[in-house]
Every structure is written in C-alpha cells, then in structure tokens.
Amino acid sequence: MLSLFITWNASPEVFTIPGIDWPVRWYGLSWALAFIGSHFFMNRIFKKEGRTDKQLDLLTLYIVIATVLGARLGHCFFYDFSYYSKHPLEILKVWEGGLASHGGAIGIVIGMWLYCRKTKESWLWLFDRLVVVVPLASMCIRFGNLMNSEIVGKVTNVAWGFKFLKNDEDVANLAQFGTEIPVRHPTQVYEALFYSLLFALFYWLWKHKRNAVGPGFMFGLFCVLMFSFRFLMEFMKENQSAFEDALPINMGQILSLPFIALGIFMIARSKKLKQQPLNTPS
C-alpha cells in the first residue's frame, strides 16, 4: 500500500546576522508580522470610527507588552511550573522559546482593561474591534510554530500528514529506539487556515454589521468560535507537558472552557445592551 505524506524539514532560521552569531528565526519574524498586520488593520478601524493615531499608538504599546508577558507567564505557570518555580530567572529568557496562546489571551484581557481604565475608552467597543485582528495575529504565530516544527499533531496516516524531521521529540525517539519518524497531523496548518477564515468573518462583521449587533456580541462570538475550535483541536495534538497525560482533558482544553463560557455570556448580554449608547473617550 502506497504511503503518502509530506516531509517537513524546514529550517527555523531565516538567516544569521554576520559577525553577531545571532540568527533571525521564523518564529520571531512571525510575531513581528502579527503585530505589524494587527496594527495595519486596527489603524483602518480607528480612522473609520474617529479614534486618533495617539490612541492607537498607546493601544499598540499595551497590546505588545500584555501579549508577550501573558504568553510567557502562561507557558511558565500552566505548562512547566515545576521547573520555573525553581528557576524563576529563567522566565526572563523569552528568546529561548515557550509562549502559550491562552496566556497571551489572558494578558490581552488584562492589558486592555488597564488601557480602558487609563483612556476611559469603552471596553466593549475596544474588544469588539480587537477580535478582528487577533485571528490574523494567531495565523502568523502558527506559521512560526510550523517553521519550528513544534506543537505537532498526533500520529496519523492521512495523505496530507507531515513527517517533521526537525521535531525534537521525534528525533530523540529515533536516536533512542531506532524507529521511523512518524507522520503527524499538521495541526499548525489546520489552525492557521481556521484563523484566516475567522479573520475574514470578523472583518466582514465589523465592516457591515457592527452597528446592527449589540456591544460585546463580536467579542462573545469570537470567544465561542475561537476557543471551541481550540478545545476540539487539542484532541488532535500531542500534550505539551507530561503531567497532562494524567488529566481527563489537557491544559489547553481546560483553559479554553472559561473563554467559551465568557463568550456565551457576552452574546446573551449584548442583546440587552443593543439599545444603550457606548461611551466615547474624551
């Protein structure tokens, strides 16, 4: 029987800066593209709805700091707390990898609350606009994960499966047991494709339906769609930490459930708020 799969042997490095020995990696570039792309579309949204460049610049600062801090702390506390609790200074080494998307989401929520508190912006207005660009940023980051050959899916025999020749765990098992590197679901690709569709949907909703739905509806719908998908996708992924093997559902699924519940609540609440005007910042 003919076995079909895609051999993935991409280098995680784009190039190395001469004389510095500091490689530019696809993962770092994907984060940069995530912020640049998000800023581009948020700029269009802010200009269309009467916000200023100064407000957007401040928002961008809050988002960048909140996302990176949240994603890093999320990884350290949710997935590898036993190690980082004993080596707290290692938390600062962001360049060595280890960022969790659920932690990034929590960081954004906290960062936007602080931003709204400072600027008196309506947090419902802001979150309904922010969810337009979050899927775009997520798509870019999953591309970085693909180039790193990380966050891989479970073993499969589908024709579009990937054999990740640079996945650390698969390579280690090959050296230890002499087994063939397995073919896995390219979950990074699945997620990137879904996030691109989600971005198209929410950009369309903002452009054509933002005044027809209640405040918080887009934010709530985003939470339900995004984290329901993440919950289901975790069934196709390998666990990121060994302790998850003993859990009935893994950490990614556990962290998705509160966001799904929040989304349902916000959708229901948006109907009551539909006729109420939002505050406009001074």
Residue 125 burial (10 A CB sphere; 0-12, 13-18, 19+): buried
What pLDDT digit, counting tens, does each position of 74-95 carry?
A: 888 877 888 888 878 888 777 6
84 located within any domain: yes
Residues of the domain holding 97: 26-273
pLDDT of residue 275: 59
Model confidence at 71, pLDDT cuts 50, 70, 90, reads confident
Alpha carbons 170 and 172: distance in angstroms, whole number: 5
Helix (H, G, I), strand (E, B) or coil at 103: helix
The DSSP bridge pattern shows strands 6-8 and 162-164 to be: parallel
Nearest partner of 211 among 265, 154, 163, 270, judged by Cα: 270
Alpha carbons 216 and 5: distance in angstroms, whole number: 43
- List CB contacts of 180: < 8 A, sequence separation 6 or more: 174
What pLDDT digit, counting tens, does each position of 200-233 carry?
A: 999 999 999 999 999 999 999 999 999 999 999 9
219: number of Cβ within 10 Å: 24
What pLDDT digit, counting tens, does each position of 106-150 carry?
A: 888 899 899 999 999 999 999 999 999 999 999 999 999 999 998
- List CB contacts of 80: < 8 A, sequence separation 6 or more: 98, 241
Q: What is the residue whose two structure tokens read 């929410």?
A: 202
Model confidence at 1, pLDDT cuts 50, 70, 90, reads very low
Alpha carbons 68 and 240: distance in angstroms, whole number: 19
66 located within any domain: yes
Q: Averaging pLDDT over each range in 22-31, 79-88, 155-164, 167-176, which range is the top one?
A: 155-164
pLDDT of residue 177: 60
59 located within any domain: yes
pLDDT of residue 277: 54
Q: Look at residue 278 and tell me whether its pLDDT is greater than 60.
A: no
Q: How large a percentage of the chain has pLDDT more than 70?
A: 94
**Cα–Cα–Cα angle for 197, 79, 87, rounded to 5 degrees:** 135
230 located within any domain: yes
Q: Look at residue 27 and tell me whether its pLDDT is greater than 50.
A: yes
4 located within any domain: no
3 located within any domain: no
Lowest-confidence range among 3-12, 184-193, 195-204, 267-276? 267-276
282 located within any domain: no
195 located within any domain: yes
pLDDT of residue 282: 38
Task: Indicate the number of domains in the chain.
Answer: 1
Residues linked to residue 237 through DSSP beta bridges, in sequence order = 153
Average pLDDT, the chain: 88
163: left (phi over 0), alpha (psi -120 to 50) or beta: beta
